Amino acid sequence: MGSSLLFEIGTEEIPSSFNGPALDFIRSKVSEKFSEIRLDYDSLNVFGTPRRLALLATGIGDKLPDMVEKKMGPPKRAAFDEKGNPTKAGLGFAQNAGVDISEISFEQTPKGEYLCVTRTIPGKATVEVLPEILEEVIARIPFPKTMKWSNPDVRFARPVHWILALFGDMVLPVKFGNISSGRITYGNRFMTNGALEVTTPDKYEELLEAGYVIPGVEKRKNLIWNSIEAHAKEIDAQVIDRDLLDEVVNLVEYPHVIVGSYDESFLEMPAEVLVTVMKHHQRFFPLYTTDTQPRLRPYFCAVSNIVPKDDALVRRGNERVLGARLDDGKYFFTEDMKVPIEEYAQRLKDVIFHKDLGTSFEKVERFTSTAMYLADILAPEKKDKVKEAAFLSKADLNSLMVCELPELQGIMGREYALHQGHDPEVSRAIHEHYLPTSAEDDLPGDIIGDLVGMADRIDTICGCFGIGLIPSGTSDPYALRRQTIAIENILLAKGYRISISRLIDQALSQLTGKLKRDAKEVREDVISFFKSRFVAILQGRGISGDVIEAVLRDFDDPLDAFMRAQAIGSVKTQAWFESICAASKRVENILKKVEAAPEISEGLFAQEEEKALYKSFKEVENSFISLVAEGEYTSALKLLAGLKDPIDQFFDKVLVMAEDIDTRNNRIALLKSLVSLFDQIAQFSKISAL
């Protein structure tokens, strides 16, 4: 059966975003340490609330397994003389091993017979090793921020008030600073008084629930969601914003859902304003109609940390707080609407983007030019709209609403532009140029948002690199990695063919006078940065490392590189493909030893195999080149299947490095032409055929 281990760290309220990673660390670290000492267990679960991080492991043995230790000594011939008497070497080994020379055994090895001592070391009692493990775990939990308090020499996310550590019914001696462990925990601070004594780990969850604490995160999450859904159903509404649940679950220990309402007149504002106030500022769940295209209803669900004596009193309090916030929002919206959005755009002249990169207005001017460059390539018919959208894209940063609720940048610009009569495509692009904001986020809905968004991002990337703000390690304060990936994902998803190097050149040309580094160095660094991010994208899409290396030899057009990688993946398992890769490798090795090969001369072909290979090569060459030019890479690759047998026959029967120089050079020229053809898609010598 084994015993159970219970470990709880009791704290002041920990920020909700800290809890999940902390619990994951505790689970993985304890599991890792148990494996290291070969300590078996049946199950290992974690619990967490705003005021506690806990672990419960069951089925732990009272004693670690015995260890068999083997110690090898000197060769037998050195440890004993010819008469069989131990030498100093043999006696010394026995003494160091703590045994009599008569207890020595011998082991045959490839080098001969050696002295050996084997002994069994009894496993320690589990209670002896657990305290050290738990003390290491508590000290190493990786919080984004930690603090000091009256407890000297230790740091934690929030002050630690108690430690509970039990193995079976025994208290384990665990210390953290000046806090020593015991068997005491605490229930809901608003609904219980005094400490709760835990007599056995298996009663932990039951005891806390009796103290108005639901320690299980998933259990608490399900209780919240099911209760909200039930309350919503009662008023013919639905809840949608499940993403808020991950935050709210770590704000409460004993959830109690209350439904509140607000004045319907607030629904005249953009829905995003209401949702932002409710979710991001009050942690309320908005309620929606049950239509297929849900609209906000003037209700919300709040999650309390207690069961109040009077739900109505708590409801009125929440309604009053939300109403005040929405009143502010309505005022901001009304006042902002009085100002033409073009005027807000002009006011960016007084806003510093970065001390070395100028004002936000200057930034808008720069990326507007880059957006027009992109429009010339991808959407010349929409150049006027692209220019207008770029000019207005940052205007709402000066609005009252966005100053109060920064999460609404772009959204309010869209609404103000629409209300003031701007083209709907332009208005949508003001919001959508910020998309995607994360890997899971939607992309812009149309090309105007794509072009403005890419232009904005490349200006930021080149500007930051140009003044030395280059990401290193985990430090990336301007989110340049995310912005680079966003550009590349847009190019892939929308099928845009763009030269990254030319896009960078365009952006750098707008930064003349701002750069603190040599423009050529900046250019190379940014290209390399784009390439490294693109490698990660391809890996995430399941493309193997060898194929990635093969197609990114010359990185410039992400969509083209992706299409080539996909094409190779579609034929990589074909039998003929291995011959193509092998030929590329052999030719590459040959070409390392020779100078540039001359043109092919048919008259110099002496063997049938080289004539056959040349004929097959010429038969596919023009079609291959045409298909590559059209981006039909899979079809182009399939043409190479006809080269398998001629290639195999050539390398089986033809000596490339012939004694006759002209013959040798002609054969090398043939092979070089062949591989040059392959290289239009990828460097096949880098690919490991399956």
Digit-coded pLDDT (tens) for 139-164:
999 999 999 999 888 999 999 999 99
Confidence check: pLDDT of 392 > 80: yes
Q: Containing domain of residue 170, as a range?
A: 3-63+125-210
Residues 59-88 have pLDDT tens digits of 998 888 777 777 888 888 888 887 788 888
Q: 439 falls in which pLDDT band (50, 70, 90)?
A: confident
pLDDT of residue 596: 61
Give domain status of residue 548, yes or no. Answer: no
Q: Do residues 192 and 233 both lie within one domain?
A: no
Q: 689 falls in which pLDDT band (50, 70, 90)?
A: low
What average pLDDT does the segment 233-240 reach? 96
Give domain status of residue 233, yes or no. Answer: yes
What average pLDDT does the segment 309-336 reach? 96
Q: Do residues 224 and 193 both lie within one domain?
A: no
What percent of the chain has a predicted confidence (pLDDT) above 70? 99
Residues 545-582 have pLDDT tens digits of 999 999 998 889 999 999 999 999 888 888 888 888 88
Give domain status of residue 547, yes or no. Answer: no
pLDDT of residue 317: 96
Between 587 and 309, the more confident residue is: 309
3 state SS of 163: strand
Q: Do residues 633 and 611 both lie within one domain?
A: yes
Give domain status of residue 223, yes or no. Answer: yes
Specify whether the CB–CB gap between 654 and 612 falls below 8 A: no
Angle at 45 between CA 42 and CA 47, to 5 degrees: 160
CATH number at 149 reads: 3.30.70
Least confident of 132-141, 498-507, 661-670: 661-670
pLDDT of residue 660: 86
Please state the domain count of the chain. 5
Give the Cα separation of 643 and 97 in Å (integer): 68
Residues 506-549 have pLDDT tens digits of 999 999 999 999 999 999 999 999 999 999 999 999 999 999 99
Q: Do residues 93 and 201 both lie within one domain?
A: no
Give domain status of residue 190, yes or no. Answer: yes
Last-in-domain residue among 147, 180, 210 = 210
Specify whether the CB–CB gap between 258 and 315 falls below 8 A: yes
Nearest to 672 by CA among 611, 609, 594, 620: 594
Q: Do residues 383 and 530 both lie within one domain?
A: yes
Between 168 and 583, the more confident residue is: 168
pLDDT of residue 30: 96
Q: Do residues 157 and 100 both lie within one domain?
A: no
pLDDT of residue 60: 92
Least confident of 22-36, 75-89, 434-448, 482-496: 75-89
Instruction: Supply the mean pLDDT for the chain.
Output: 92
pLDDT of residue 229: 97
Give the Cα separation of 341 and 458 in Å (integer): 25
Confidence check: pLDDT of 1 > 70: no
Q: Among the residues of 339-410, which ranges form H helices?
A: 341-346, 360-378, 383-392, 400-404
CATH number at 385 reads: 1.10.3210
Query: How crowded is residue 138: how many other Cβ atoms within 10 Å of its Cβ?
Result: 22
CATH number at 568 reads: 1.10.730
pLDDT of residue 595: 66
Last-in-domain residue among 480, 509, 541 = 541
Give domain status of residue 552, yes or no. Answer: no
Query: How crowded is residue 559: how many other Cβ atoms within 10 Å of its Cβ?
Result: 17
pTM for this model (two decimals): 0.82
Q: Do residues 375 and 522 both lie within one domain?
A: yes
209 alpha-carbon distance from chain centroid: 36
Least confident of 473-482, 520-529, 586-595: 586-595
Confidence check: pLDDT of 314 > 90: yes
Q: Do residues 142 and 115 both lie within one domain?
A: no
Q: Do residues 424 and 412 both lie within one domain?
A: yes
Q: Do residues 150 and 234 both lie within one domain?
A: no
What average pLDDT does the segment 417-443 reach? 94
For residue 37, what are its two tokens?
Answer: 């000492």
Give the Cα separation of 379 and 376 in Å (integer): 6
pLDDT of residue 690: 57
Give domain status of residue 44, yes or no. Answer: yes
Least confident of 57-61, 471-475, 486-490, 621-625: 471-475
Question: Angle of helix 16-36 relative to helix 126-140, nearest 10 degrees?
Answer: 150
pLDDT of residue 51: 96
Q: Do residues 576 and 592 both lie within one domain?
A: yes
3 state SS of 46: strand
Last-in-domain residue among 182, 210, 238 = 210
Residues 113-143 have pLDDT tens digits of 888 888 777 778 888 999 999 999 999 999 9
Q: Do residues 55 and 82 both lie within one domain?
A: no
Give domain status of residue 185, yes or no. Answer: yes
